[in-house]
Structure 1
Amino acid sequence: MTDDSSRSTTFISADNPFGKLPDHLLIEIFIRVPISEWLQLSCVKKQWANLFREECLWHAALLRTFPLAGHATRWPGPIPRGLSKRRYTALYISKHIFSLDDELDEIVGHTYLFLKEQLEISTMPPPASILHGTIIDQFIACGKSRDKVHELASLIWLAVIDNLEENEQTFLLLKRLALEGDVFLPYPYSRSEKVQWRVFEKLFTDFRDCFNHNDYYDVLACAKHKFQPIPAAWLGY
């Protein structure tokens, strides 16, 4: 791709043979371009933007990038698989965020997407206990052991928390998660201490300036109740 406007105009002009290619050939070209340039490609002309919205392009990209995806069976549980674009995104996340390379790749990516979207969907997402229970139930339905279920759920929570945008909505969400009461459910339905620790850590480091005086001490008191001792870095208001 290039930022030069005159070259871009020539590239998409009607006189350029590339601009006359049928959709199926354009798709075969686009899926061979690095994914980092797909957004730019989709902005070149309306026809290309439409291709990136259609199932056929994402289905072709899915099978080219993840050849075994075509052999994957549907799984039981509350989190659906979705269409090709969703599946491509889930597999990309599994590979690049979790570095997984086994039969769990896709469902881990879908679970990450489910949790991230639920937490970002509004200022009042479902309680963390419901979201966590849904994740646990998903992996249990797929036949995973209790230890593996607990490990995967914790990894997904940690990855989502680390990848939320740093804005006011995220601050309010993390504060709500920090102040939520302990849920007395049996293992592995209880959230891991690592996840709870990360929530407080981000609040007291990345979002410290968002606190007012009273809120800070409320959250700090909650942290002291959950963790002993707490890091000195959290005591800086």
Structure 2
Amino acid sequence: SLGTEMLAWGEAVLGVPVNEFYGQTECNLVVSSCSDLFPARPGAMGKPVPGHDVRIVDGEGHEVLDGTTGHIAVRRPDPVMFLGYWRNPEAIERKFIGEWLITGDLGRRDPDGFLWFVGRDDDVITSSGYRIGPGEIEDCLLRHPAVALCGVVGVPDPVRTEAVKAFIVLKEGVAGTPELARAIQDFVRTRLAAHEYPRHVAFVEELPMTATGKIIRRALRERGGV
């Protein structure tokens, strides 16, 4: 999801509000922001596009309460929903819970109907009983004046199951010191919940990225204690 910094950059440099949208190959463009209808909320994906029934459901396909994290799901039939995976009926069956296509992403809905992306199901960090999405932490880190780019993952922790770790690319001319790492941790700790701040910080030269500019968190998890 686009954070505050990216939305502000779009308006300042391009002179237009950025309309964000959400979907996946199997069912694309089902949630969107639309500046002609309502102002974007930084961090939110927007609202369901007319013609699509998008809800937050639990593992049994029941809709959850606003503010509760669950599966982002799309009710079938839907005009942009795929027909199936080629010669793989087992994968098709796993993709649905009853009438709901399960995207594999976790999110939540607020009382005003905005949908918020928490993370891929396998990217969500489980720490001390909390389920933590990396996106909100990354958005906070990017507001620190020394941070150019960052990626957040969970790493094994014997007490908490997982601990939050931030891989950070610093802005040009900034040195990665233990003092700066502590300052960045404090920056997040005072702006987000106490369990969300990165207990580990690694300064790196670059982050593994897809061709479309998305951080490959799996690669960061594999680096673990680097």
Q: Same fold by TM (over 0.5)?
A: no
Q: TM-score, normalised by structure 2?
A: 0.30
Higher strand share: 2
Q: TM-score, normalised by structure 1?
A: 0.29
